Chains A and B, each alone.
Chain A
Amino acid sequence: MTRILDVARMHTIAWVSQLAWPWGIMAISLGVNLLIFASIDEAAPGKNTTGGLVSIYIVCSIVAATSISQVFPFALGMGVTRRTFYLATVLVNVVQAVVYGVLLYLLNLIEGATGGFGIQLRFFRIPYVDVDNGLLQIAVYAVPFLFLNFVSVFVAVWYVRFGMNGLFGAGAALILVTGLLVALITWQGWFGDIWQWLSSQHQVSLLVGWPALIAAVAALGGMAAIRRANA
């Protein structure tokens, strides 16, 4: 376990890119949104929602992917096993998701208490994603980090293991399979049923359950792929 923590430091030691960029870019996004919405004279009711929050998730997933392509060869060079490196990576991503989830929840509370920063802005309290239970709200914020990060970690591991051709090959295969699936669904007229199934799902399943499940599958897939990867 100590070794996993020592290896986890490889991800966090240069904390500027790990921490400062995601939050910095989100802060800029928030600032820009505040300026825009403050300059609109009379925002129509319900039209004061923004999707700027997505920036922190995207930046984090990019950081997660680059940390594989950059830290993995270094870790291997320092005599760290693939297994230890991967477990340390999982640990960093899970802890980060929980901490960031809590921080976003606090910002959510601030936004609520200040009347949307005085201008009824809904940057953190996005409709549907805004739930009334505190713990659940933290999970709702945290799970998309896990989902995006583990999918991008899996893609990065795939790239390290199989190279550019492997990456594009898998991408091509994915497009082909999805395309055929969509064609089949359209041909059979199954879209209505699928929509019905989606809308019958509980909010918690859609926001937390299913993304967490996919994140777990991606994490296990990354573990399997990295065991035979060479830097």
Chain B
Amino acid sequence: MSVVAAAGLTKRFGEVTALDDVTFTLTGDKIYGLLGRNGAGKTTLMQLITGQNSGTSGDLMLFGERPYENERVLSRVVFIKESQTYPTAYQVRHVLSLAKRLFPNWDEDFAQSLVDDFDLPRKRKVRKLSRGMLSALGVTIGLAARAPLTFFDEPYLGLDAVARQLFYDRLLADYAENPRTVVLSTHLIDEVADLIEHVLLLDRGKLLLDAPSDELRGEVVEASGPAAAVDEFAAAHQALHREQLGGAVRASLRGSFDDAERTRAKKLGIDLAPVSLQQAVVRLTTERTNAR
């Protein structure tokens, strides 16, 4: 059974269409990257899936049921978002103690070890935490909840590089031991590129891409060489980006690049280089923006 199934999901806020006819399926035990620019609709999509808001039209199923006001399926989800607010009187230990009771799979030892790793002051008021500590608290809840479906919406704001690496390491280690479906929404694509198994790319409310990240990486290459040769080679593919420096051209191309294609490129004197996931995403989104 699919973990999440969306069909024609649309959400409008007045004049703004935050999600436009989005259709996709999340299957179990995989790490997804929900990528896209600011305002692409990532947070809105996660809010709909977690029942924090309702869609304007279309169909959405979470563990086979509609999520809005559905305790049974919502208790199997944790949604860690950068914008989460906490009551003023709460201390860190209060939040942890409440989370422990609310998430059925909560692992208290794991939570306490994360609190130690992140140096979180247990008795400090949450509103007095620094931005980074607030993120660390969110990360702690998100990991220790061990929810079958875990959302992290920009969970790293204010976290330093060491703490971010700690988060990625702990996530990967715990995921290996307790497989579950994780959705990472992030701007720091390169940092999580090795974690992400499948990419969902949103652009202005539309789902631009829904593909395994390996496939996506293989699909986009950077070809550089003499202008004429590159242009001849590019004709058979979708050109996402082209920049010329004198007689040399560097172009980002999308298509399938099998051995035959690679040999052809070599003969033309073209150098084919793989691009990073981040570059692929940037090229794909800018190409679409330019086409508009």
Contacts and interface: CB of A to CB of B under 8 A. Distances in A.
A19 to B, nearest CB: 11
Given A81-B70, A81-B71, A84-B71, A13 B85 contact: no
Contacts of B102: 3, 6-7, 78-80
A230 B69 contact: no
A213 B77 CA distance: 39
B45 to A, nearest CB: 15
B79 interface: yes
The interface centre, meaning the residue of A77, A79, A80 with most chain B CB atoms within 10 A of its CB, is A79
A192 B180 CA distance: 71
A14 B91 CA distance: 8
Contact of A73 (B71, B78, B85, B103): B85
B81 interface: yes
A85 B51 CA distance: 14
A58 interface: no
How big is chain A's contact interface, by range? 20 to 34
B267 interface: no
By size class, the interface of chain B is: 20 to 34
Nearest to A17: B89
Given A16-B89, A230-B53, A79 B75 contact: yes
A101 to B, nearest CB: 24
A13 B77 CA distance: 23
B87 A77 contact: no
Contacts of B71: 3, 81, 83-84
A9 B98 contact: yes
Interface string B61-101: 00000000111001101110100111111110010011101
A9 B101 contact: yes
B256 interface: no
A70 B88 contact: yes
A10 B98 contact: yes
A7 B101 CA distance: 9
Interface in A61-89: 67, 70-71, 73-74, 76-84
A9 B96 CA distance: 12
A91 B103 CA distance: 21
A10 B90 CA distance: 9
B266 to A, nearest CB: 54
Nearest to B69: A81
B90 to A, nearest CB: 6
Given A13-B90, A14-B91, A79 B98 contact: no
B77 to A, nearest CB: 6
A172 to B, nearest CB: 22
A79 B90 contact: no
A46 B99 CA distance: 54
15 contacts: A6-B101, A9-B101, A10-B87, A10-B98, A13-B94, A13-B97, A74-B85, A74-B87, A78-B99, A78-B102, A79-B75, A79-B78, A79-B147, A84-B71, A230-B52
5 closest residue pairs by CB, A with B: A14-B89, A70-B87, A6-B101, A79-B74, A13-B94
